Each structure stands twice: as C-alpha cells, then as structure tokens.
Structure 1
Amino acid sequence: MNPEIPSPARFTNKIAVLLREDLEAWQRLNVTAFLVSGFGTHDPEVIGQPYADGDGTPYLPMFRQPVMVFEGSKEQLATAHARALERGVATSVFIADMFVTGNDEDNRAAVRAVGRDALDLVGIAFYGPRNIVDKVVKGARKHP
C-alpha cells in the first residue's frame, strides 16, 4: 500500500442492489443503473468529490462507496422489499412493466398502477445503515 494514500474509511452506510435471478444480462445492467440513480439526490453524502486525471481532465463525482449487487428469487425480492419498508430504509424499485415503457413518466405510472404487495419486482435497491441493509438482503446471494 502506498504510504501517501490514507487507508480507506469503513463506511457506516451501505448501498445494495437485489436483482431477480431470472433476468437476462442486459436487464441486470439496465435495472442496476436505474435503481442506484436516485440515491445521490436523496442522500447527497453518498456522492464523493469530482475526479480528475493526471492531466487535470475533470470527471463527474461518483458514489463514495461500493455498490453491492445480489440476486435472489421473486420471493426473496418481496421479502427484502417488506423488510426495507418496515425498517425505513431508502428504497428504489424496478418492476417488470418498466421494461416495456419508453419514458420516465410511464415508468412512474406503471409503479403507481399496482399496490405495494402486488409489485412484480425485478430489482430493488437500498441505502442505509450497513447493519440494517445487511438484514434487508439476508438470504440473497452475491451476484456472480
């Protein structure tokens, strides 16, 4: 380890994405990107400082911590969803109907059209205290 670079801090909060195990590869990537996109606006401390390369070229800031991606069954997603809501964890959802919509307004309408317990969840993401998020995703496998 380079002595000039300080050891990374252990974060007290965690970002986790839970994907339904039967998604195609392109769907997994698409859903993950959509799910994590809201955390920076909901909790600004999630975002670090802007980047710059050795030539001074600026780059956008990113999350200050890793995003852990898990997979599970439809039932595991429903259980994690209930756990997150019960514990007050910041949550984003992606439902199957969103694969056929073409814009943000239709995505929100698709979610709004279904009751909480009837959502056909294909992905869900969480941000909150590490120990609580770990309990929310308990039983899910790390994405291969």
Structure 2
Amino acid sequence: MEKFETKIGVLLRDDLAMWQRLNVTAFLVSGIAGTHPEVIGEPYEDADGRRYLPMFRQPVMVFEGSKEFMRTAHERTLGRGIEHSVFTQDLFATGNDHDNRAAVKAVRTAELDLVGIAVYGPKNAVDKTLKGATKHH
C-alpha cells in the first residue's frame, strides 16, 4: 500500500442530514481536485476498453464534529495556513456558484456558520488540524 505525505480530510458537522453530508462532501473535495492536479490519478479503463474519469489517487478521510468543533478546526486551518474549502449553512439556500460565493463573502470569518470543511496538506498538519474529530460512520 502506498504511503502518502499529504492527506485529504473532510470534516462535517454532526447534525447534518445524510443527503446534506453527501452533498457537502462532494462540493468540498471538488475544490481540492480543481486546484491540486497532483492528487488526481490516471483515468480508469475496464476490460472492454471503456474509459472512465480519473479519481483521487489517495484516500479521502471523512470525519464529523460538533458545531463548536467546526469552529476550532477552522481556526486551526487558518493558524497553520492549511489550504481548505468551506461550506456554510447558507449554501443550502442558494442554487448556483455565483450565489454561493456571495453568501460566503457576506459573512466575516469568525461568524461563518460552517457545516463542512475540506483540508489538504502535509499529513501531520492535517492530522493536528482534525485532532478530536471522530471518523464518520
């Protein structure tokens, strides 16, 4: 099994409905895939030669935590300078990328009502950032 020097981690607020957890995870990791081409593997191909899109080349670890822990983890990402994407409660009421960005822009950092963050960086830094979260089940 390949060892990775980096880690992709997603932290979801523990009071989200299942559909929200899945939706938030998909949106959050798209930011990592879109800005870090090195995390994407080669395209897939089945025995009939049919090709499929590539996926992350390393595992994506998904965790959950309370609303308070979301704030703590976000502060840790900011303090450590770890790249991350955010999903706020307000984004459930928007329907497009323009409105999503406007909804985040309208709120000060400390007041963001975070329901999810995705982090990408050195394994040790990501582990320290998410320390205290539980693995999503």
The aligned runs of 1:45-60 (5 Å cut-off) are 45-60=38-53
| Total equivalences in the alignment | 137
Q: Say which structure is richer in helix.
A: 2
Alignment root-mean-square deviation, CA? 0.6
Give secondary structure in 1 for the equivalent of 2:119. strand
**One of 56, 63, 68 as aligned partner of 2:56:** 63
TM-score by length of 1: 0.93
The aligned runs of 1:30-45 (5 Å cut-off) are 30-45=23-38
2:124 equivalent in structure 1: 131
1:5 equivalent in structure 2: none
Counting aligned pairs with the same residue, the percent is 67
* Higher Cα radius of gyration: 1
TM-score by length of 2: 0.98
- Could you tell me which runs of 5 or more consecutive residues in structure 2 were left unpaired when the two chains were aligned: none
Distance 1:46 1:88 in 2: 19
Q: CA deviation at 1:43?
A: 1.2
Residues 1-38 of structure 1 deviation map (CA, whole Å, 9 limit, x = unaligned): xxxxxxx3101100000000000000000000000001
**One of 84, 103, 109 as aligned partner of 1:116:** 109
Give secondary structure in 1 for the equivalent of 2:72. helix
- Could you tell me which runs of 5 or more consecutive residues in structure 1 were left unpaired when the two chains were aligned: 1-7
